[in-house]
Amino acid sequence: MSLFNRLEEIAAAGREARKQIGWVSMPLARSAENGEEIDPDRFEEASDECSSPSFPALKKGRTSLSPEERELVMQRKAVWHHGPKGSETPAVWKSVVNGKTWYVTNTHRAYNVTGTLKGTIKRFHEFIRSTA
């Protein structure tokens, strides 16, 4: 067997292992710990629930921040200076997709999505601002 074929086998085994353990939600993990058998159909549902929507879906479901949310974003300086004469505007926006609220921060190069406003503000400061 050639080295290339062996590397392909190792890569395939790694993909299979990630597929089996990479997306297990906490309820399914608890089921496995209790010795229950994991149904593959539930496994697929859990992986879909854990991931955030695509950026086009987020843009389509975009809604306005509430006054309280906007105030928190402005207080924590998660802002761009895109307003008139360089005034501050929120760098975080909200989207509702399939009944779930997501908070988004983005530039033309990257975006980050979380289910909490504070988490998105943190991601703005730790990563997104540096991509501007």
pLDDT in tens, the chain (132 residues): 677 777 778 777 766 766 655 544 455 555 555 666 555 554 444 444 458 889 999 999 999 999 999 999 999 999 999 989 999 999 999 999 999 999 999 999 999 999 999 999 999 999 999 998
C-alpha separations of 14 from 3, 8, 102 in Å: 16, 10, 31
pTM: 0.63
Token output for 132: 């501007």
**Which residues, other chains included, contact 34 with Cβ-Cβ below 8 Å and sequence gap of 6+?**
none
The bridge status of strand 62-63 relative to strand 111-114 is: unpaired
Radius of gyration (C-alpha) of the chain in whole angstroms? 20
The helix or strand, by DSSP H or E, that contains position 20, with its residue range, turns out to be helix 3-21
